[in-house]
Amino acid sequence: MFDVVIPYTHSAMEENQWAFMLSCFQPKNTWVMGDAPDDHIKRIGGAILTDSLSELQGKIVICQPINGLEIQGETSLLDFKHPENAIYVFGSNHVHMRSNDFEGLDYETVYIPSDSQSDMYNFASAGIILFDRLSKNG
């Protein structure tokens, strides 16, 4: 089982993309960070609003919206072993989360390896990382 934490967005297009992505992989819970209105939560498909990761139970996996050859201090998705009880945290598009945002929490940061380094849309990185979980864990 796994949970997903996504950012609140003001974009209806992004909400639809997240709703589609999450319907494909069926997380146990979907958490939305930020001050999202009720209609946003409904469009994401019964997501739960939160403003703190400390209340969630499981190993936090920070999923940076970046791909590259090697990113210092982060684990390549190729080498990553998905925890059974994972909480995948996807930040905002093109905004990299800082480790001090997760101070005191049990977490690991993952990046998607590629031939060059570039930013990605967060829902695109979610699809790759959650598919990797499915292919490795069954």
Task: Give tens-digit pLDDT for 53-108.
Answer: 888 888 989 887 776 767 777 899 999 999 999 999 987 765 556 666 678 888 88
Q: What is the pLDDT of residue 77?
A: 93
Tokens of 129: 């990382």
Q: What is the pLDDT of residue 124?
A: 85
Domains located in the chain, CATH noted: 2-137 (3.40.1280.10)
Residue 98 is given by DSSP the state: P
* Cα 130 from Cα 2, distance rounded (Å): 10
pLDDT digits (tens, 9 = 90+) for 15-51: 788 888 888 999 998 888 777 666 666 667 667 777 7
* Cα 24 from Cα 68, distance rounded (Å): 25
